[in-house]
Chains A and B, each alone.
Chain A
Amino acid sequence: MIEIANLSKSFNGKVVLKNLSLKFEDRKTTVVLGRSGCGKSVLLKLILRLLSIDSGRIIIDNVDTTDFSEQQMMNVRKKMGMLFQGSALFDSMTVYDNVAYTLHEHSNMSEENIRKIVKEKLSFVEMEGTETLMPAELSGGMQKRIALARAMANDPDYIFFDEPTTGIDPITAQTINELIKRVQEHTGSTVVVVTHDLESAAFVAQKIVLIKDGGKYFEGSPEEFQKSQKGFVRLFRSGGKEIESYED
């Protein structure tokens, strides 16, 4: 489980997260919703400590990692996989090398075993036979799927998705949503998805957190989110159309 307590982060005086507290429960898919620029992606980067924390605590599997050094964080990160918004595939490497990267770095497996795992992960994301292709030869949706295969390569306990459906067509987006759901069911990993895509959230979420002004505005099940009468929830749900009734 990941527990976040009073987390704050600013960039050049601009407050992005302010005293944010929430929990990501084990083996559940939590979707973090919020407007663009509200700090959703920053939250993931803080958990992975790709960014430094201004104040607050981050506790992962009952271990307070807040003051961990970069080297200590390396061991924590081995339990995690992340799908970046732009996929962030290594563009000088083939699909095979991208997916096998973690295994080459952190395991003593034979190349034959690595090949088997890569094949299995590519099959999971329905991208068999693409091993020799370069990322530039793939569409945006295909790149996301390869990035997911890479994130899953070492069977992490936690998988983070940063805007997984942004910038792709609705049909491909639905394929990605189905994959996210399947990842959680298949691996039992704890999944965190940050997005502003309500359809995606409704499809994959077991719990929804809505962030506003750097803090937690709403936390509950997808059903509770749909029924909530809180002003910003209604505004967000309606895509900004209920702006006149928004009073928060």
Chain B
Amino acid sequence: MFLTHIYRYTKFLGTVLRSLVRRPYYLKEIIEQLYQVGYRSLSIVSLTGIFTGMVLAFQTGMEMSRFGAKGYIGSVVALSLVRELGPVLTALVVAGRVGAGITAELGSMRVTDQIDAMRAMAIDPYKKLVSTRIISLLIMLPVLVAVADALGLLGGLIIATTNLNVGYELYKSTVLDALLLEDLVSGIIKPFVFAFVIGTIGCYLGMNTTGGTKGVGSSTTLSVVLSSISIFILDFVMTKIFFLFGRPV
């Protein structure tokens, strides 16, 4: 069963990759999906980012105060957010909101013959439905992660200045000192990989849904579970790889 899924998922990836480069490109659908994936996720991603930054600054700041190191709170917040928490938490939120939505939508279309109707009308559903959603995720997730990072740093600044008596200039300089170009690169690569995983898992499960409305529910749950597990595993693997390529510890 597991091997069958691996085989079918691999085959699905081949079909998706072919459809990504083939005409037509459905720009109108991509723009619609950019709105659905990006704009409509903005509020939840913003809240996640700012509160993560605040709680991170508060928790670590209190501990660091005991050792007289609270001045470095900016470095801690920046490194934790940009390297790990920003990409991972944003990806998890998007997997829950967008990935599940994609699976439910495509799954419903599948069990009500709408996907077959599309094929019968000589329209490629992989091109029209799948590739447009994956492209939108690939574009929007890095943007959402950047928003979450920025708001997380802002949340950290709020706590640093109001609770920890760390000034704006000190916070800013420790943030800028801590972040390296490699961090920004990994901050782009990670969400890009997560977006591909969320999109392909969501679409694969949706396009292969069977068993009526119950099947749609199962596929949707599985989509969130598999995407979340994949995000955690891939985050670890990518972090290891980035360190192997020389990022300072």
Chain A positions within 8 Å of B, measured between CB atoms, are: 45, 48, 50, 70, 74-75, 77-78, 80-82, 84-86, 88-91, 101-102, 105-106
Q: For residue A44, which residue of chain B has the nearest CB?
A: B120
User: Contacts A70-B124, A74-B124: A84 and B113 contacting too (C-beta < 8 A)?
Assistant: yes
Determine the chain A residues whose CB is within 8 A of the CB of B114 once the complex forms: 88-91
Instruction: Verify B116–A45 contact, CB threshold 8 A.
Output: yes
Q: Which 10 pairs between the two chains have the least Cβ-Cβ distance? A: A88-B113, A88-B117, A77-B122, A82-B120, A74-B122, A78-B122, A84-B113, A50-B116, A102-B121, A88-B114
Q: For residue A84, which residue of chain B has the nearest CB?
A: B113
Instruction: Verify B124–A86 contact, CB threshold 8 A.
Output: no
Interface size counted on chain B using CB atoms at 8 A: 13
Which of B109-137 touch A at CB < 8 Å?
Answer: 109, 112-114, 116-117, 119-124
A91 to B120, CA, bound (A): 17
A86 to B114, CA, bound (A): 10
Number of A-B contacts defined by CB within 8 Å:
48
Q: For residue A101, which residue of chain B has the nearest CB?
A: B121
Task: Identify 13 new A-B residue pairs, CB closer than 8 A, beyond the known A82-B117, A88-B114, A91-B114.
Answer: A48-B120, A70-B124, A74-B122, A77-B121, A77-B122, A81-B120, A82-B120, A86-B112, A88-B112, A88-B117, A89-B117, A102-B121, A106-B122
Determine the chain B residues whose CB is within 8 A of the CB of A88 once the complex forms: 112-114, 116-117
Instruction: Verify A80–B123 contact, CB threshold 8 A.
Output: no
0/1 string, B77-115, CB within 8 A of A gives 1? 000000000000000000000000000000011001110
Instruction: Verify A91–B122 contact, CB threshold 8 A.
Output: no
Determine the chain A residues whose CB is within 8 A of the CB of B112 once the complex forms: 86, 88, 91
In the complex, how many angstroms separate the beta carbon of A36 from the nearest chain B beta carbon? Answer: 17
A86 to B112, CA, bound (A): 7
Instruction: Verify B123–A105 contact, CB threshold 8 A.
Output: yes
Q: For residue B28, which residue of chain A has the nearest CB?
A: A104
Determine the chain A residues whose CB is within 8 A of the CB of B109 once the complex forms: 90
A90 to B122, CA, bound (A): 15
In the complex, how many angstroms separate the beta carbon of B206 from the nearest chain A beta carbon? Answer: 14
Instruction: Verify A86–B119 contact, CB threshold 8 A.
Output: no
User: Contacts A88-B112, A91-B112: A75 and B122 contacting too (C-beta < 8 A)?
Assistant: yes
Residue from A74, A81, A88, A101 with most neighbouring chain B CB atoms (10 Å): A88
Determine the chain B residues whose CB is within 8 A of the CB of A81 once the complex forms: 120
